[in-house]
Amino acid sequence: MAKATKVINRISISDEERRRIELEDIERTLLENKEVIKETFEVMKGMQDRGILSMVNSLLKEGDKVLNILVNTADTPETANTLKNLLLILGTLGTLNVQQLEPLILKINSGIARVAEADKTPEKPSYLALLRSLNDQEVKQAMTFLMTFIKGMGGDTSDLERTTQLPENQHLHKTNETAEIERPTSRKSYGSSIPSKSGSDKKRKNSWFWIAAGVSLVTIPLTLSKSRK
C-alpha cells in the first residue's frame, strides 16, 4: 500500500505573478462595467465644470469650521421652530384631498377670468341689472357654494388639529377637557323647566343676516359708481 502524504508543499506565487493576476481582475471588472464608469465620469465632468467639486473640496478642507457653524446654527430656537413648522406644513399638506380641491380651484379660476373680462367692459351696471342677476342660476350656485364653504369653516375640527404644545401642556389640556366632560349635569335639570330660546334666536339671526345682505347689495352699486366718478 502507498503511504499517506503528510507533507504539503504550497506553491508560492511571486510578486510579479500576483500583480499580473490583480491587474487581470481589475481589467475584467472595468470591461464588465464600462458603461457605468463612462456615465460616472460624465457626471463628475459636469460637476467639475459647474464648480461643485471645488466647492465640496473646500468644504472638506474646512470641515471642522463648517461643522461648528452648522451646529451653532441648528442650536437656536428659530431653527427648531422652522423645522417644527416645516413638519406641520408637510403634515397639513398630507391631509389635503386633491380630488376635492381640483373643482374648487377650477371654480376660482373661472371667477377670476370673469372678473378680468368685466374690468374691460366700460358699461356701468344698473340697480335693476344687479337685482336681476340674483335670479341667475350661476349666481345662485355661487351663493350656495359660498354659504356651504362658510358652514364648513364653522365646523368643529379641533380633534383633527395637530398640536404644537409641550408634553406637559398637552397633559393639562387633556385633563381640562376630561374635567369639562365629567362635570355634573345638574344645570341641565334646572334648565329643563326654562323655555328654550334657541329657535327664536336662530330666526332673529337669520332675519338680520338677510337684512344685512340686502343692504350690502344696495350699497355695492353706490360704491362702484362713486369710485368710477
Using CB atoms within 10 A of its CB, is residue 136 exposed (0-12), middle (13-18) or buried (19+)?
Answer: exposed
How far is Cα 118 from Cα 86, in angstroms, rounded to an integer? 40
Residues in Cβ contact with 53 at an 8 Å cutoff, skipping those fewer than 6 apart: 44, 47
Q: Which residue carries 469650521 as its cell?
A: 65
Q: Quote the pTM value.
A: 0.34
Per residue of the chain (229 residues), what is the pLDDT tens digit? Answer: 556 666 666 677 788 888 988 999 999 998 999 999 999 999 999 998 988 988 888 888 887 887 888 788 777 888 888 888 888 888 777 777 778 788 888 888 888 888 888 777 767 777 787 788 788 888 888 888 888 888 888 877 776 665 555 555 555 555 555 555 555 444 444 444 444 444 555 555 555 666 666 656 556 655 555 555 5
Per-domain residue ranges of the chain = 15-61
Q: List alpha helices for the chain, DSSP H.
A: 15-32, 34-49, 52-61, 63-74, 77-95, 98-120, 127-133, 137-153, 167-181, 186-191, 198-228
CA distance 62 to 66: 6
